[in-house]
Amino acid sequence: MTSEKQVEIYNKKFLQDVSALGMRGVDPLDIRPPQILLIQASSAAEDFKTPSGQNPKVGQFFHTGRNEIMDTFECFFLLASKGEYMDRNKNPPEQREQYRTIGCMTDDFKPFMMNFRSSAMYALSPLFTAAASNGRPMFSIRAKIETKELQNSQGKKWRIPVVRVVENEKDQTILNTLYNLALGYDKNTTEVMSDSKEELPTPSEEKKDEAPPF
């Protein structure tokens, strides 16, 4: 007798096998990575929901592609690009700096987007330092993303993401995969992105199978 779990797994595999059906004419650059959002007190948490109907809480991450709630997660960062966004919480609105990133999860290497703004601008510094100090590309370093609570002089509290370096990746197969992903994004991104809603492109098929130089 086939269990519900077996049917679920079969359906998932079948859908993955035919996931490109009907999209042969779609430009790969038009397919945007989902986002990972850090839920704040000001976030409309009811807008984000898991398949089982759960909403994320303040301080949790929400993956808009998986519709999954996470307290922490591990990933590899493929691309970081410094630019600006319009802070509409200011009156009048102000241009402020941000890092826009593309990373991929360690379990399936599926890309995601994540923004680091304002008080989170320097969250990536430990990763940048580790890459420069070890003479390794950023994508080859496994990172863990957690959160930290901050409070200003008026008592307002908010959360920021914290990036912790876990270890240097040693598996050659994983490094090959990460290299090809990072190479595609690096060749197709715009260095300065001024619109806060602008998204980074997906990797090009060009040089997809190029062997990494390590």
3-state SS, residue 81 = strand
pLDDT of residue 197: 46
**Residue 212 scores a pLDDT above 70:** no
DSSP letters for 135-204 = T--GGGEEEEEEEEEEE-TT--EEEEEEEEEEEE---HHHHHHHHHHHHHHHTT--S----TT--PPPPP
Distance between CA atoms of 170 and 75, rounded to whole angstroms?
15
- Alpha carbon 211 to chain centroid, angstroms: 24
Q: What is the pLDDT of residues 49-91, one digit of tens each?
A: 999 999 999 999 999 999 999 999 999 999 999 888 877 777 7
Q: 79-83, 160-164, 180-184 — which one is most confidently predicted on average? A: 160-164
pLDDT of residue 199: 43
For CA atoms 39, 41, 43, 48, give the dihedral sign: positive
Q: Is the peptide bond before 92 cis (omega within 30 degrees of 0)?
A: yes
Domain range annotation of the chain: 72-186
Cβ-contact 127, 77 below 8 angstroms: yes
Q: What is the pLDDT of residues 23-35, one digit of tens each?
A: 777 765 566 789 9
